[in-house]
Structure 1
Amino acid sequence: MSDLCCFHESMNELSPDLRHDEAHPFYTSSRHIGCIDPNCNVVSIIEDAYENAKFLCDRYYVTSPGIKIETINVLEPSQPISIVYVPSHLYHIMVELLKVSDQGGGVPRHIVGKLFNYMYTTASLPSVENVEYDAPMAGLGYGLPLSRLYARYFLGDLFLFSMEGYGTDACLYLKASAVDASEMLPWFSFRSKKMYESNEKGPDWSG
C-alpha cells in the first residue's frame, strides 16, 4: 500500500497535460516515482545482485562462480528489457535466488515444502558476535519467503525446483506490462472478505 501511495503522490506532481505525453521524462528515463522505477533495467539489477552475492560467496567459501546472462526481448528485440517495478524488491529477490540456485546437491524432498516458511532455514544460524559487522550468507530464515512475497505483490510468482543429489533451480515470473501488474492485497478478515465479494452497494454522499 505504501508503494502505491508514493506512486500516486508523485504522479500528481506531473502537469495534467504531460501525464500522457510520451516525450515526458517519466516515459523516457528511469526517474523514480516514489520507490517505483518506470524503466527498471532488469539486467542491471541482476548484475548488481550478482556482485553482492559474489562478494558474500567469496567471503564465506573463498570462491564464486561466474555469471552468464542471456536476454530475449520479444516486444523490442534491439532494446534492453525494462519493466515498471520496485528495484529494491527485484534486487532482494535476485540476491536470494543467486544464493540458492546451484548444483550443490539440492534439497531433501521431505523439507522442500518448508523452504518458504518464515524463520525456517537449512543453514546454521549466523554468529551473534559477527552479525553486526558481517552480512550473513544465510540462516536468517526470511530470504525466500520475502522474495516470493515481493514477487506475488504485483501478481508475479516464484518457484523453486530442487533435485536431491543434484541441485536447485529457481524461476521468477514478473508481469512485463504495468497494466497487468495490479497490486494484490490480502484478505484481512472474514468480514472484509464478505464486503469485497458483495455486489450490494450502500448509500453514499452522492445520494
Structure 2
Amino acid sequence: MKFTVKSAQQVARMVDVYSHYCPQPLSMQRFIDFGTKTGTEQSSFEFLRRELPVRLANIMMEMNQLPEPLLNVPSVTMVSNWYKKSFTEIIGFENSDGKDLDTLSTFADTLVVIRNRHANVVETMAQGVMELKDRYGEENMDTLQYFLNRFFTSRISIRMLINQHALLYGSQLANHPRHIGCIDPKCNVLEVVKDAYANARFLCEQYYLTAPELELITHNTHDNEEDISINSLRAVVENFPVDSTLPKLKVHICKGKEDLTIKLCDQGGGIPYNNINKLFEYMYSTAPSPSCADSGSAPLAGYGYGLPLSRLYAQYFQGDLVVSSVDGFGTDAYIYLKVLSNEANECLPIYNKTSARMYETDVVVSDWTSPPKSPQNSRTFSTLTRTYQPRT
C-alpha cells in the first residue's frame, strides 16, 4: 500500500528530512554494470524510491532560498509546484513492497508521469527569469546563476535515473538493441559529431540559406555538440558577405589516456575578451533576442541557454566545456569527456550550510580603480561584505 501525504506541512517536513541526506553519485560504469549484470527491477525500485526524494529535496530546499520576487513569478511557482507534486508521488512508495509486481508496475508508470510533467522545466524556468529580469534588471543575477547551474544539473541527474529505469524495466524500448537504457556503451563519437553538424546545418540553412562545410580531423581514434555547432555556423555566416566562400568549421577529435577532447574551430569573427564569461550566463546571447516575428522560422540563437546547459551536460560526468576566442577572427570550443567509464562520476549539487550561504545577500565594495570584468570573477577584485539574512 502506498503512503499518502495529505498536507503541505507534511510535504515540507518530508522535504526537510530528505534534504539532510547526501545524494549518492553513480559512475557511468555503475550504470552499465547495473543494466547488464547486477541490476533487477526490484533493486532499481529500492534504490530510486530512496535516491529520487533525496535529489528532489536537496534542490527544492535551494529553490526555497531564491529571492522572493522570483518565487512569486507565476512560471517559477509552477515549476516549484511540479517538484512538490513529484516529490509527494515518489515518497508515496516509501513503505511499499518491492516484491509486489503491481507496485513495480505502478512505480514505473509514475516515473514516466513525473518525467513528462517536468519536460518543459527549462523553458518554464527561463520564462520566469526573463520576467524577473524585465522587472528588476540585473539584481540578484549572481544568485540566479549559481542556482540555475545547480538546478539544471540536478534535473539532468534525475532524468538520467528515471530514463534508465523506464528503458530497462518499463514499457518504453531503447533506441537501439545495444543500448543499456539510454547509454550506448559503444558510442561512435565521430558519428555523433556528424549528426550534430547535420542538425545544426539544417537549421542554419533554413534561416540563412547557406552554411559552412565541416572538416573532421581525428586523432587516435549529443546535445551539447549541436548547440556549439549552431553558434559556430551562425557566427561564420553572419561574419562573411553574401555569396562569399565560407571557411570550414573544423572539428578535431582526440582520444588521450584520460580525456576525449572535441575541439571546434570557426572563423566567425570571434568574441570580445570581456564577453567570454558572459557566454555561460543565462539569458545572455551573442545573437538578437528571440521574437515572435511573422517570418515563420525562428532565429538560431538568442535564448541564452545553449552554452550554459551544454557545459552542465559535459560537467555532469566530470567533463567540461571551455571557450577561447580571438576577437576579429574566430572562436575555439573544447569539449572534455572522460575516457574511462569508472572515472565518469556524477557531479551532483548538495544542499548544506555552504550552499545555503550562497543565497544570502552580498554587498560588493570595489577596492580597485578599474576591476577587470572578465575572465576574473568580480569578487576576486573586491572586498566582500556579506549581510546575513534569516532563512525561513
- Count of matched residue pairs: 161
Which residue of the partner structure matches residue 88 of structure 1?
none
Structure-2 change in CA distance of 1:92 and 1:9 (3 Å): closer
TM-score using structure 2 length: 0.37
The code of the aligned residue for 1:45 comes to V
Indicate conservation of the 8 Å contact 1:107/1:168, yes or no: yes
Counterpart secondary structure, 1:174:
strand
Which residue of the partner structure matches residue 230 of structure 2?
99
TM-score using structure 1 length: 0.68
1:113 matches 2:274: no
Indicate conservation of the 8 Å contact 2:207/2:299, yes or no: no
* Of 121-130 and 107-116, the range deviating more from structure 2: 121-130
Deviation at 1:161, TM superposition (A): 0.5
Indicate conservation of the 8 Å contact 2:206/2:297, yes or no: no
User: Within 5 Å, which residues of 2 pair with 1:1-207?
Assistant: 1-2=157-158, 3-4=160-161, 6-7=163-164, 31-73=178-220, 91-101=222-232, 102-129=266-293, 134=297, 136-190=299-353
Bigger share in helix: 2
Indicate conservation of the 8 Å contact 1:30/1:37, yes or no: no
Indicate conservation of the 8 Å contact 2:323/2:334, yes or no: yes
Deviation at 1:126, TM superposition (A): 2.2
**What is the CA deviation profile of residues 1-30 of structure 1, one whole-angstrom value per residue up to 9, with x for unaligned ones?**
3314544676789xxxxxxxxxxxxxxx86
Partners in 2 of 1:178 and 1:188 — Cα distance?
A: 27
Q: After the TM superposition, which segments of 4 or more aligned residues of structure 1 sit over 6 Å from their partners?
A: 8-13
Indicate conservation of the 8 Å contact 1:156/1:173, yes or no: yes
Counterpart secondary structure, 2:290:
coil
Structure-2 change in CA distance of 1:191 and 1:109 (3 Å): closer
Deviation at 1:93, TM superposition (A): 1.0
RMSD: 2.6
Which residue of the partner structure matches residue 196 of structure 1?
none
What are structure 1's unaligned runs of at least 5 residues? 14-28, 78-90, 194-207
Indicate conservation of the 8 Å contact 2:231/2:301, yes or no: no
Partners in 2 of 1:9 and 1:100 — Cα distance?
A: 33
Which residue of the partner structure matches residue 202 of structure 1?
none
Deviation at 1:129, TM superposition (A): 4.3
**What is the CA deviation profile of residues 20-60 of structure 1, one whole-angstrom value per residue up to 9, with x for unaligned ones?**
xxxxxxxxx86222222222211111111111111122122
Determine what percentage of the aligned residue pairs are the same residue: 48
Which one has a bigger Cα radius of gyration? Answer: 2
Indicate conservation of the 8 Å contact 2:272/2:327, yes or no: yes
Structure-2 change in CA distance of 1:175 and 1:30 (3 Å): farther
Indicate conservation of the 8 Å contact 1:30/1:40, yes or no: no
Deviation at 1:127, TM superposition (A): 2.5
